[in-house]
Each structure stands twice: as C-alpha cells, then as structure tokens.
Homo-oligomer: A and B are copies of this chain.
C-alpha cells in the first residue's frame, strides 16, 4: 500500500498545480503517492502576510480533510511555513511539514552554512524569524534577493537562472555558504542546473518537503513517532469544537465529526 501525501498549494489558483505535480512525481519514492491541491479562493501568491492570513484557515482545513481521508502526510507548500504550528496541533495520525522546515533541516545536515535565495527583500524579516526559531541563525550565511515577485520566476526562466547564478556565486564565494536554498516553492525547476553550475547542493524546497514528509510518515508508521501531543501541540478536543459549534460557524460541516 502506498503512502498518500497531500501537497497543498496555499493559494487561490490552480495555475502551478500541474507543474508542481509533475515535479513531485519525478522526485517521489515508489511507495509514495502524491496528490496536489490548491484553494478555491484566495490570492494567487502570498508574499504579503495579510494574504497568508487569508488562506490560513482553508489551508488548515485541507490538512484536516487529509487526515479524515486517510492521507499519511501533508505538505504546506510555501516557504513562509504558514500554519505549520497550527497544522501540527490539529493533526493526529497525519504527519505534516512545510517548505522551510524541511529545507533547513536538510541544508544544515549537508553543510555548515547556508544561504537562502528569496524573491524580494520584503520576505526576509519573516523568513529570518523562521530561521531563528528553528535554531539555525548561526548557520545562516545570507539572504540573497532576486528582486522578483513569485509570479515572475517563470516568466523569463533564462533571466531567473542567470540572476540565481550570480547570487549563488556571491553566496558561496563571499558569504561562505556551503549549501543554497531556493526560498520559494515557485522557484521549482531551477535547482538542477544551478547546483551543476555552482557545485554545491541547491535545495529545492518542494522536493525537500517531499523527502522530509516521506521520512516523517516512515517514522510515524514504523516507529509510532508522531507529533507530540504534550503541551504545545495538544489538539483541541472534538467535544469542545462541537460544543463551540465551529462547524456551523465556519461552514465546514463534517470536518470535525
């Protein structure tokens, strides 16, 4: 039986679903089955934190649904890791991860210092806080900004890869990065050429999250190491959720019953 993984594109547009699905298909293990989904409403990118907040609840309900439908793992497909804490809180047998968490753990295992290539300076403070909260502040060589929005990466892929190469060389030569991370799910597809050119591992966060969720599903199902339900990730009780009539209020009939 295959492990079913749900990759959630937390945006209100299916535009990248097909390409990311194919990308994941090529990267998955044989015993992994990937489904991709995006949201029925929401902005087509979530560079702004307000946009993140708009898609948050629907993203979490995708996670909840995945658990109800028997998925083994879910991936929140954004490098801000929106809702990861909340998703761990509400999950029971389902394992969850997100792009930044997965990429960072892999990167620091492969090298001493890493750099993250972002789209815009705008993203850095939030991502920097994530890096710090994971504990990897002192392994962060630098953020490098492409000065491009999420929706620009695939408009002129030659331009994008050229810019990536320039920044990557700087990161390795000047900032002494040993590993590079592409800091956005929509930067998919560039890592192979980049790592061949630069000669250090270039972590694609989409594939990193796939590999990491495969690990998490494996440890959950073979060793029963799941999300700890002591303290921080303790779930709200179904009884309370029902007593508070949250299904009715949020029009999510059946999700919590």
Chain A residues near B (Cβ < 8 Å): 12, 27, 29, 41-44, 48-54, 56-57, 60, 83, 85-86, 89-90, 97, 101, 105-106, 108-113, 121-122, 124-126, 128-129, 132-139, 172, 176-179, 191-192, 195, 199-201, 203-204, 207-208, 211-212, 214-216, 218-219, 222-236, 240, 244, 246, 249-250
Q: Which residue of B lies closest to A135 (CB)?
A: B135
Q: Which residues of B contact A106 (CB under 8 A)?
A: 215, 219, 225
Q: Which residues of B contact A86 (CB under 8 A)?
A: 49-50, 52-53
Assess the A48–B227 pair: CB atoms within 8 A. no
Assess the A225–B201 pair: CB atoms within 8 A. yes
Assess the B231–A203 pair: CB atoms within 8 A. no
- Apart from A48-B236, A178-B228, A200-B230, what are 18 other A-B pairs with CB-CB below 8 Å? A41-B249, A50-B90, A52-B86, A53-B83, A54-B246, A85-B126, A108-B134, A109-B216, A110-B227, A111-B227, A112-B128, A113-B231, A122-B234, A124-B231, A126-B232, A172-B230, A178-B231, A195-B225
24 pairs, CB–CB < 8 Å, chain A vs chain B: A49-B85, A50-B60, A50-B90, A50-B235, A50-B236, A53-B60, A57-B57, A97-B109, A110-B225, A110-B227, A112-B233, A121-B176, A121-B231, A122-B234, A125-B232, A132-B138, A133-B133, A178-B233, A195-B224, A200-B229, A211-B218, A211-B223, A214-B218, A215-B215
Q: Which residues of B contact A228 (CB under 8 A)?
A: 110-111, 178-179, 200-201
Assess the A125–B109 pair: CB atoms within 8 A. no
The distance in angstroms between the C-alpha atoms of A29 and B191, with both chains bound, is 28
Report the minimum CB–CB distance from A8 to chain B (whole Å): 14
Assess the A223–B207 pair: CB atoms within 8 A. yes
Q: Which residues of B contact A216 (CB under 8 A)?
A: 109
Knowing A57-B57, A86-B49, the reply to whether A135 touches B136 (Cβ < 8 A) is yes
Knowing A230-B200, A244-B43, the reply to whether A89 touches B50 (Cβ < 8 A) is yes
Q: Which residues of B contact A225 (CB under 8 A)?
A: 106, 110, 195, 201, 203
The distance in angstroms between the C-alpha atoms of A136 and B108, with both chains bound, is 12
